[in-house]
Amino acid sequence: FTAPQPITSENLTEWIKIIENFPQQLTKLVSKFDDEQLNTPYRLDGWTVRQVIHHIADSHMNSYIRFKWALTENKPIIKPYFEGRWAELHDGKNGPILVSLYLITSLHARWVLMLKGLTPNELQHTFIHPYGGREITLAENIGIYAWHCVHHFAHINNLRKQMNW
């Protein structure tokens, strides 16, 4: 994801709408998948659909907390996590997707409430990612996670089309 410069209020409105609508769209996409479909990798040597869904929950929880840190601390250095290792844990490989779909739905409702209330000044708050020391504004991070929603939805939807599900 490369953020437009400058990031406009129209960009932010569009991105927040994507984040807001994502849980319902994802749930609709995967609600009829059986275990065989959920355990199918979306690409060769890729995660299974189940792992992607649990990854989305993990990733978006981390992002939500990063917003909180950036709003309450001065340029915090965030703690990264090993998403690939998390996806290989028991809950990521075997957990029922409904748990993560409920989590994503609730988390996004709370996250969007926060995002819609951010002031122009708050949108410029930043956190620092320790890999590369990059400083990321909250405005940019909204775009990153809107992209993340679209990106993983496309992985699952492309697999669905490819497999004629």
For tokens 């405005």, name the residue: 139
**pLDDT value at position 98?**
98
CATH code matching the domain that covers 13-163, chosen among 3.30.470.10, 1.10.3720.10, 1.20.120.450, 1.20.1070.10: 1.20.120.450
Per-residue model confidence (pLDDT) at position 18: 99
Please give the pLDDT value at position 152. Answer: 99
- Cα atoms found within 13 Å of the Cα of residue 45, Cβ hemisphere only: 0
CA distances from 42 to 19, 72, 117, 157 (A): 22, 38, 36, 9
pLDDT of residue 134: 95
Cα 128–chain centre separation: 18
Please tell me the distance from the alpha carbon of residue 92 to that of residue 85, in angstroms, as a whole number.
9
Q: Where are the domains of the chain?
A: 13-163
Residues of the chain where predicted confidence (pLDDT) is lower than 50: none
pLDDT at site 61:
98
pTM: 0.97
